[in-house]
Amino acid sequence: MEEFGLPPVDGHIHCVRTAGADLTDRRGWLAGLETEDLGNGCRVNRLVFTAVTEERFRAEGPPTICIAVFLDGRGSMTVDGVRTLPIMPGTAILFHSPRRTGGENRIAAGCRVRCVDVRFSPESLEHLGLPSLAALLRADEAGCSVQETLFLLRPAGPALLASARDALGCTLQGSARRLYLQAKAIEILSLMVALAETGARQLLPRDQRRVEEAARLVAERFQEPWTIGSLARAVGLNERKLKEGFRAVLGRTVHAHLEEVRLAAAAAMIQDGTAITEAAMAVGYGSPSHFAKVFRRRHGCTPRDWPREGAAA
């Protein structure tokens, strides 16, 4: 594999692509990352790209609180010494560490990513009047290492997803843009803190980790004919706990989550020029008519009407 540096985002990041990848290809992370320093220890990163090949990148950074809201994407995020969480559409990941921390992110090949990532320094949190995150740590003991690093996954929900879309689509300029994005960053922070405090408290830590593992399996192997029973067996949970855990951790049923992941993958394939029938088969739909029906319900248009790269306006 080959390694090359990336512009720093709150630290040092290195991107590693699989062997044989064209390092001059600008459609990946390099082309898709926009980072803006909003002042007062606040930063917003906007990421929109399609991974032509699998992309892996290591990151190291200073103490921070980071909220990453994924509108689209498949892969995983790992914090050294803590755990690995899946990247999935419609979810948010909260990371907080009081010391310098490193980890690795992975984006699946052929996957379209749309993500808004907001970061706050410890000083900016004090300025906002947010006390220590001890309450958050107690709300998710499974996500804390001995160094009190917080790393948790939550369903984003309509309000948080709307805030992320607003930040991603902001067209203002100058001072108006900075004020708007500052307001959205604080809004995303407040909504995520609320989710963290009221999240999956009823799950035992080991059960929550198994639910997260099940979600990761679905994200990485969505083309397989998963059933609730086969997924439960794969992670060592009974079916009832798996179903309850998905609702608590991801805010949706197992079936709804699998459908979400498959349709997001199919939309990315179609956008990149894959034939509709081929895309449907690749994500596990044997009936083109059923695929078209659920695709329209999810995306608001038929697969035939989905935008394709290079198509005439």
The three-state DSSP-derived secondary structure of 45-109 is EEEEEECCCCEEEEEEECCEEEEEEEEECCEEEEECCCEEEEECCCEEEEEEECCCEEEEEEECC
98 or 285, which is more confident? 285
- CATH number of the domain that 235 lies in? 1.10.10.60
Does residue 13 register a pLDDT over 60? no
- Considering the domain architecture, whether residues 172 and 248 belong to the same structural domain is answered as no
For the cut 60, the answer to whether the pLDDT of residue 70 exceeds it is yes
- 178 and 234, same structural domain? no
- Residue % of the chain over a pLDDT of 70: 80
Tell me the pairing of strands 55-61 and 91-97. Answer: unpaired
Residues 180 and 234 grouped into a single domain: no
Residues 6+ positions from 284 with CB-CB distance below 8 Å: 222, 223, 224, 225, 262
Supply 249's token pair.
Answer: 């951790």
Domain boundary residue among 166, 181, 197?
Answer: 197
145 in a structural domain: yes
Considering the domain architecture, whether residues 33 and 146 belong to the same structural domain is answered as yes
Q: What is the pLDDT of residues 178-237, one digit of tens each?
A: 999 999 999 998 888 777 666 545 667 788 888 888 988 888 888 888 999 999 999 999
Q: What is the pLDDT, as a whole number, of residue 30?
A: 63
Whether the pLDDT of residue 305 is over 70: the answer is yes
38 in any annotated domain: yes
Mean pLDDT of 147-175: 86
162 confidence band (pLDDT: 50, 70, 90): very high
10: left (phi over 0), alpha (psi -120 to 50) or beta: left
Residue 312 forms part of a structural domain: no
Q: 13 near 150, Cβ under 8 Å?
A: no
User: For position 179, what pLDDT does the model report?
Assistant: 93
* Same-domain check for residues 133 and 96: yes
pLDDT more than 90, % of the chain? 23
- Indicate whether 46 and 67 sit together in one domain: yes
**Does one domain contain both 50 and 150?**
yes
Residue 243 in any domain: the answer is: yes
Q: Which domain holds residue 54?
A: 2-197
Residue 267 — very low, low, confident or very high, per pLDDT cuts 50/70/90? confident
- Whether the per-residue pLDDT at 62 is higher than 70: the answer is yes
Answer yes or no: do 71 and 156 share one domain. Answer: yes
Strand partners, 151: 95
Looking at the structure, tell me whether residues 62 and 154 fall in a common domain: yes
Domain total in the chain:
2
Q: What share of the chain is helix, strand, coil (3-state, %, to 5)?
A: 40, 25, 30
How far is it, in rounded angstroms, from Cα 296 to Cα 303? 7
Summarize the confidence of residues 41-54 as an average pLDDT.
87
